[in-house]
Amino acid sequence: MAKDQEEGVQDPVPDDAEAEARLRALSSPLRLRVLRLCAFEARTNKELADLLKLNPGTMLHHVRTLVQTGFLVAEPERPGAQGAREVPYRATGASWRSPLPDRSRVLVEVFLQQIEGVDADDLRTTWLGLKLTDEHRNEFERRLHELLVEFKERGPDADGEPYSVFTAFHPDLNPPAVG
């Protein structure tokens, strides 16, 4: 069961077609990157295409998918270059409460894309091996999740810098010591 479901933070249950569309929308690492780019700042289709080095027509397909599934919302139009109208989009935060298909693998792929080009001095990683009972594992996961939710619900600091946090919790497949 997803952590958000365990904690009771969940959107109303959508019908099967809506749920399937939302899962498909979140199955794309590119669309997850779009959501990150629009989390704190509204961005136009062209801005997103430029940032992700894509054709604007291709980007429009992904933006429309995210709008139709409720993950992005259009903000009021604004004037663009040479009098063209631009529609900026902002992430709704709904992806935080939504289950992801093959959650871990998609997020790992997005994480690897996100850190491409990050200076090694700016990337802080920790890898910790633990040996826990089910009770302690559940406590660890719950407390870590609570901390993430607490900071998410605070909202962005007006004068803050954007950061990204990635955690992975998995069984350690190292063989046990023989002896």
Give residue-wise pLDDT tens across range 70-80. 999 999 998 87
Entry pTM: 0.70
Give residue-wise pLDDT tens across range 106-130. 888 888 888 888 898 898 888 888 8
DSSP 28: -
Alpha-carbon distance 40 to 158, whole Å? 10
> What domains sit in the chain, N to C, each tagged with a CATH number?
3-154 (1.10.10.10)
